[in-house]
Amino acid sequence: MAENFSKDTLPDYEIITRILQGEKELYALIVRRYNQRLYRVAMSIVNDDAEAEDVMQVAYINAYENLGKFAFQASFSTWLTRILINESLLRLKKRGKSINMNEDMIHMDIFQKNSIDRKTPVTELLNLELKVALEDAIRQLPEKYRTVFIMREIENMNTAETQACLDISEVNVKVRLNRAKSMLKDSLSRLYKKEDILHFHLTRCTGMVERVMMRVALR
């Protein structure tokens, strides 16, 4: 039990180093660690649940096969999420969907969230119906607004980090976030419980780990 706990808390760079040295079973820690974030980011782009899971799996396998090229020149979360975004954008192109993003979504980083949830009597009243309505409203946003909203409001990324990761100006981040909030205002107001939004629950997380690790075992 103690050994498992110790492995679960290993930093990314140590896990990756050990994987490259032959402990490929440790890749399961990476998959479990980033499932929730990658699911939310994939959903913000492809806007389809089943396809988001497929994109995640492809991203994990592509990342594993290219771990030797990572070289720690950026944070691992940045590198992994860029792979996910590129795959997501490729799916949109294959659908024949026009992507009006320029280079806004080519670069993205996901950081470990350390925020404290703000609980008020109002947010405590949030129920399943509101959660479903919120998810639907978010999914109806245009991609560039939906992505900034999820990064800033759901994943707790600050303005500077969002700006750097999406390679857009600070003003653009603020404008897009405000625009997203405005578009959601009628159905949301400011009532949402972010941890419940686009939640990648435990059984799905375990399923993703198992599928990815079956592929990794064949490498």
Question: For residue range 51-80, what is the model confidence (pLDDT) as tens digits?
Answer: 999 999 999 999 999 999 987 877 898 889
Is residue 149 predicted with pLDDT exceeding 80? yes
Residues sharing a CB contact under 8 Å with residue 42, sequence separation 6 or more, in sequence order:
51, 52, 53, 55, 56, 59, 84, 88
Structure tokens at 124: 């405590």
Confidence at residue 193, expressed as pLDDT on a 0 to 100 scale = 55
Burial of 186 (C-beta count, 10 Å sphere; 0-12/13-18/19+): exposed
Which range marks the domain in which residue 210 is found?
Answer: 2-217
**d(Cα 163, Cα 174) in Å, to the nearest integer?**
9
> Within 13 Å, how many C-alpha atoms sit on residue 142's CB side?
14
Nearest of 132, 140, 111 to residue 47 by alpha carbon: 140
Structure tokens at 81: 């999420």
Q: Amino acid identity of 145? A: Y
pTM beyond 0.85, yes or no? no
> Which span out of 19-23, 102-106, 202-206 was modeled with the highest average pLDDT?
19-23
Longest dimension (CA), the chain: 53
Confidence at residue 1, expressed as pLDDT on a 0 to 100 scale = 45
Question: For residue range 183-192, what is the model confidence (pLDDT) as tens digits?
Answer: 887 655 545 5
Q: Give whole-number Cα distances, 34 to 23, 95, 164, 190, 219, in Å.
A: 19, 26, 20, 27, 21
Average pLDDT score over the chain: 78
End-to-end CA distance of the chain: give it in Å, rounded: 28
Q: Give whole-number Cα distances, 153 to 30, 45, 111, 165, 168, in Å.
A: 24, 16, 13, 15, 17
Number of domains in the chain: 1
Domain at 31, CATH number: 1.10.1740.10
Confidence at residue 196, expressed as pLDDT on a 0 to 100 scale = 63
**d(Cα 90, Cα 102) in Å, to the nearest integer?**
14
Confidence at residue 188, expressed as pLDDT on a 0 to 100 scale = 56
**d(Cα 198, Cα 188) in Å, to the nearest integer?**
15
Structure tokens at 160: 């500077």
Confidence at residue 73, expressed as pLDDT on a 0 to 100 scale = 75
